[in-house]
Amino acid sequence: MDTTILIKTKKELKVQAQDLARELGFSLTDIINASLRQFIVNQGIVISKMPTEELSLYVNKKDIISSYKDSLKEFQR
């Protein structure tokens, strides 16, 4: 059974996140669910001043999308 989570965030943050999710072929719901699964698996979150990965490691958007979809598959098992 699905449930609803109501959160408050800045409108611009939501719009930017939705746009990026859409560009990558996902919904914002997909992104939030993946983040929640990662939180559970890792038993916490990583907060860092520096990004853990640089986008320059990827050749193009297709590589980014492919890598992200692969990581989502791990959480859907």
Domain spans, the chain: 11-75
Average pLDDT over residues 25-37: 91
At residue 52, the pLDDT reads 59
Burial class (CB in 10 A: 0-12, 13-18, 19+), 29: exposed
Is the pLDDT confidence value at 15 over 60? Answer: yes
Is the pLDDT confidence value at 11 over 80? Answer: yes
Dump pLDDT digits (tens) for 53-75.
665 655 566 777 777 777 777 66
Dihedral angle over CA of 24, 28, 34, 4, nearest 10 = -160
Average pLDDT over residues 37-56: 74
Burial class (CB in 10 A: 0-12, 13-18, 19+), 21: middle
Report the chain's mean pLDDT, rounded to a whole number: 81
